[in-house]
Protein backbone atom coordinates (compact mmCIF):
# COMPACT_ATOMS: atom_id res chain seq x y z
CA UNK A 1 0.00 0.00 0.00
CA UNK A 2 1.22 3.47 -0.70
CA UNK A 3 -0.10 6.98 -0.85
CA UNK A 4 -0.69 8.42 -4.31
CA UNK A 5 -1.90 11.86 -5.28
CA UNK A 6 -5.16 12.12 -7.20
CA UNK A 7 -5.64 15.78 -7.99
CA UNK A 8 -6.12 17.56 -4.66
CA UNK A 9 -6.68 14.39 -2.67
CA UNK A 10 -4.39 11.74 -1.35
CA UNK A 11 -5.66 8.21 -1.71
CA UNK A 12 -4.35 4.96 -0.30
CA UNK A 13 -3.94 2.50 -3.15
CA UNK A 14 -2.27 -0.86 -3.59
CA UNK A 15 0.89 -0.89 -5.63
CA UNK A 16 3.95 -3.01 -6.18
CA UNK A 17 5.90 -0.69 -3.92
CA UNK A 18 8.11 -2.42 -1.39
CA UNK A 19 6.15 -3.34 1.73
CA UNK A 20 8.86 -1.84 3.93
CA UNK A 21 7.92 1.64 2.69
CA UNK A 22 4.49 1.50 4.33
CA UNK A 23 6.02 2.71 7.60
CA UNK A 24 8.05 5.61 6.23
CA UNK A 25 5.54 8.21 7.43
CA UNK A 26 5.43 6.78 10.96
CA UNK A 27 8.93 6.19 12.25
CA UNK A 28 8.77 3.61 15.00
CA UNK A 29 12.10 2.58 16.53
CA UNK A 30 10.97 -1.03 16.85
CA UNK A 31 9.94 -1.09 13.18
CA UNK A 32 13.38 0.27 12.28
CA UNK A 33 15.05 -2.46 14.37
CA UNK A 34 12.95 -5.10 12.62
CA UNK A 35 13.80 -3.67 9.19
CA UNK A 36 17.54 -3.65 10.00
CA UNK A 37 17.50 -7.23 11.23
CA UNK A 38 15.16 -8.67 8.60
CA UNK A 39 15.44 -6.97 5.23
CA UNK A 40 13.05 -9.57 3.75
CA UNK A 41 10.44 -11.88 5.17
CA UNK A 42 12.37 -14.08 7.62
CA UNK A 43 10.25 -17.15 7.01
CA UNK A 44 7.60 -18.99 8.97
CA UNK A 45 10.11 -20.98 11.03
CA UNK A 46 11.96 -17.84 12.18
CA UNK A 47 8.70 -16.08 13.07
CA UNK A 48 7.62 -19.15 15.07
CA UNK A 49 11.00 -19.17 16.85
CA UNK A 50 10.57 -15.49 17.77
CA UNK A 51 7.08 -16.15 19.14
CA UNK A 52 8.25 -19.15 21.21
CA UNK A 53 11.24 -17.16 22.52
CA UNK A 54 8.90 -14.47 23.85
CA UNK A 55 10.09 -11.79 21.41
CA UNK A 56 6.55 -11.24 20.07
CA UNK A 57 5.55 -8.43 22.39
CA UNK A 58 4.29 -4.97 21.65
CA UNK A 59 5.22 -3.72 18.21
CA UNK A 60 7.05 -6.93 17.31
CA UNK A 61 3.88 -8.95 17.88
CA UNK A 62 2.06 -6.76 15.39
CA UNK A 63 4.94 -6.86 12.92
CA UNK A 64 5.19 -10.66 13.07
CA UNK A 65 1.45 -11.10 12.57
CA UNK A 66 1.46 -8.75 9.58
CA UNK A 67 4.58 -10.33 8.07
CA UNK A 68 2.95 -13.75 8.28
CA UNK A 69 -0.26 -12.35 6.76
CA UNK A 70 1.55 -10.54 3.93
CA UNK A 71 3.30 -13.76 2.94
CA UNK A 72 0.51 -16.23 3.73
CA UNK A 73 -0.38 -16.76 0.06
CA UNK A 74 3.11 -18.08 -0.70
CA UNK A 75 3.73 -19.92 2.57
CA UNK A 76 0.35 -21.50 3.36
CA UNK A 77 1.69 -25.10 3.50
CA UNK A 78 4.48 -23.97 5.87
CA UNK A 79 1.96 -22.13 8.06
CA UNK A 80 -0.21 -25.24 8.31
CA UNK A 81 2.80 -27.44 9.11
CA UNK A 82 3.97 -25.03 11.82
CA UNK A 83 0.43 -24.90 13.22
CA UNK A 84 0.39 -28.68 13.54
CA UNK A 85 3.76 -28.64 15.33
CA UNK A 86 2.67 -25.93 17.75
CA UNK A 87 0.33 -28.03 19.97
CA UNK A 88 -2.01 -25.09 20.58
CA UNK A 89 0.55 -22.60 21.91
CA UNK A 90 0.93 -18.95 20.90
CA UNK A 91 2.36 -19.88 17.50
CA UNK A 92 -0.98 -21.43 16.54
CA UNK A 93 -2.77 -18.28 17.64
CA UNK A 94 -0.46 -16.03 15.58
CA UNK A 95 -0.94 -18.24 12.51
CA UNK A 96 -4.71 -17.97 12.82
CA UNK A 97 -4.47 -14.21 13.30
CA UNK A 98 -2.31 -13.97 10.16
CA UNK A 99 -4.81 -16.06 8.19
CA UNK A 100 -7.58 -13.76 9.43
CA UNK A 101 -5.67 -10.74 8.12
CA UNK A 102 -4.91 -12.47 4.81
CA UNK A 103 -8.45 -13.89 4.16
CA UNK A 104 -7.23 -16.70 1.92
CA UNK A 105 -10.00 -18.85 0.44
CA UNK A 106 -7.40 -21.64 0.06
CA UNK A 107 -7.26 -21.96 3.87
CA UNK A 108 -10.95 -22.86 4.24
CA UNK A 109 -10.38 -26.61 4.57
CA UNK A 110 -7.66 -26.10 7.17
CA UNK A 111 -9.85 -23.69 9.15
CA UNK A 112 -12.65 -26.25 9.11
CA UNK A 113 -10.27 -28.75 10.71
CA UNK A 114 -9.42 -26.18 13.39
CA UNK A 115 -13.14 -25.76 14.11
CA UNK A 116 -13.53 -29.53 14.42
CA UNK A 117 -10.56 -29.80 16.82
CA UNK A 118 -12.58 -28.51 19.77
CA UNK A 119 -10.09 -25.94 21.09
CA UNK A 120 -12.44 -23.01 21.75
CA UNK A 121 -9.67 -20.40 21.86
CA UNK A 122 -8.47 -21.33 18.37
CA UNK A 123 -11.97 -22.10 17.05
CA UNK A 124 -13.08 -18.50 17.63
CA UNK A 125 -10.28 -17.18 15.40
CA UNK A 126 -11.06 -19.82 12.77
CA UNK A 127 -14.74 -18.84 12.84
CA UNK A 128 -13.90 -15.14 12.42
CA UNK A 129 -11.54 -15.93 9.57
CA UNK A 130 -14.13 -18.03 7.76
CA UNK A 131 -16.65 -15.21 8.19
CA UNK A 132 -14.15 -12.78 6.66
CA UNK A 133 -13.42 -15.11 3.72
CA UNK A 134 -17.18 -15.27 3.01
CA UNK A 135 -17.23 -17.76 0.14
CA UNK A 136 -19.84 -20.46 -0.37
CA UNK A 137 -17.46 -23.13 0.91
CA UNK A 138 -16.50 -21.03 3.97
CA UNK A 139 -20.17 -20.48 4.85
CA UNK A 140 -20.85 -24.21 4.47
CA UNK A 141 -17.99 -25.03 6.85
CA UNK A 142 -19.30 -22.48 9.35
CA UNK A 143 -22.80 -23.91 9.27
CA UNK A 144 -21.54 -27.44 9.90
CA UNK A 145 -19.15 -26.53 12.70
CA UNK A 146 -19.70 -28.05 16.15
CA UNK A 147 -19.05 -24.71 17.89
CA UNK A 148 -22.01 -23.19 16.07
CA UNK A 149 -24.28 -26.03 17.17
CA UNK A 150 -23.26 -25.70 20.82
CA UNK A 151 -23.72 -21.93 20.70
CA UNK A 152 -27.24 -22.34 19.28
CA UNK A 153 -28.15 -24.91 21.92
CA UNK A 154 -27.07 -22.74 24.81
CA UNK A 155 -25.66 -24.04 28.08
CA UNK A 156 -28.12 -26.90 28.54
CA UNK A 157 -28.04 -30.26 26.82
CA UNK A 158 -31.15 -31.70 25.09
CA UNK A 159 -31.14 -34.67 27.48
CA UNK A 160 -31.80 -32.37 30.46
CA UNK A 161 -35.41 -31.73 31.34
CA UNK A 162 -36.89 -28.56 32.74
CA UNK A 163 -39.55 -29.05 35.44
The number of beta carbons lying within 10 Å of the beta carbon of residue 66 is 16
CA–CA gap between residue 83 and residue 145 (Å, rounded)? 20
pLDDT for position 142: 92
- Ranges of each domain in the chain: 39-151
Among candidate residues 70, 77, 81, 56, the one with its CA nearest the CA of residue 19: 70
Q: Is the C-alpha dihedral spanning 48, 129, 120, 58 positive or negative?
A: positive
pLDDT for position 27: 77
Rounded mean pLDDT for each run of 10 residues along the chain, 163 residues in total: 44 50 71 90 95 92 94 95 90 95 94 90 92 94 73 42 44
Amino acid sequence: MCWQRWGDKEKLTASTMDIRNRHRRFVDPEQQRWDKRYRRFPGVAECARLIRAGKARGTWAEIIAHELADNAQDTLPELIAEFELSNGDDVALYILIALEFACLPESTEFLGEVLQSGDLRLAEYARRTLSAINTREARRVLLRSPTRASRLRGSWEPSETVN
